[in-house]
């Protein structure tokens, strides 16, 4: 099966924007702020084959109008403490948020 170059690029662009398009309401109608990496965490996880392993996460914090919210970043990717990320969150419920990290989308 052969596809045209234009169709290939169109499909590629759609694929790249899929994570952003899922969160379009937060991007258009939510508030945005900067999140900052405050520390690194290791967690012991059980894998499907029942072996335990340590997994590294960075802890990212952002400030809303009323509170601070902390969450774990992508697994296995070490960002330096102090690195900043763009975060979009819901005005009504700040626990609903979208962190724009180009290695992954949360």
All domains of the chain in start order, with CATH: 5-105 (2.40.50)
Residue 48: CB partners within 8 Å, gap ≥ 6? none
Asked if 57 and 40 touch (Cβ cutoff 8 Å), the reply is yes
Burial 87-102 (b: 16+ CB within 10 A, else e): bbbbeeebeebbbbbe
pLDDT the model gives residue 47: 56
pTM beyond 0.85: the answer is no
Least confident interval from 9-13, 18-22, 26-30, 31-35:
18-22
Backbone φ and ψ of 64, nearest 5°:
-105, -170
Measured torsion, CA atoms of residues 68, 90, 97, 28, in degrees rounded to the nearest 10: -130
pLDDT the model gives residue 104: 54
- Average pLDDT, integer, range 95-100: 86
The answer to whether residue 32 scores a pLDDT higher than 80 is yes
pLDDT the model gives residue 85: 92
Residue 19 or 32, more confident: 32
The answer to whether residue 23 scores a pLDDT higher than 90 is no
């Amino acid at each position: 099966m052969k596809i045209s170059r234009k169709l290939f690029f169109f499909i590629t662009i759609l694929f790249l924007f899929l994570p952003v398009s899922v969160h379009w309401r937060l991007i258009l109608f939510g508030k945005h702020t900067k999140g900052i990496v405050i520390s690194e965490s290791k967690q012991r996880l059980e894998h499907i084959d029942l072996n335990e392993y340590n997994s590294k996460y960075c802890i990212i914090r952002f400030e809303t109008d009323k509170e601070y919210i902390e969450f774990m970043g992508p697994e296995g990717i070490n960002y330096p403490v102090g690195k900043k990320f763009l975060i979009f969150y819901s005005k009504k419920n700040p626990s609903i948020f979208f962190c724009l990290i180009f290695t992954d989308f949360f």
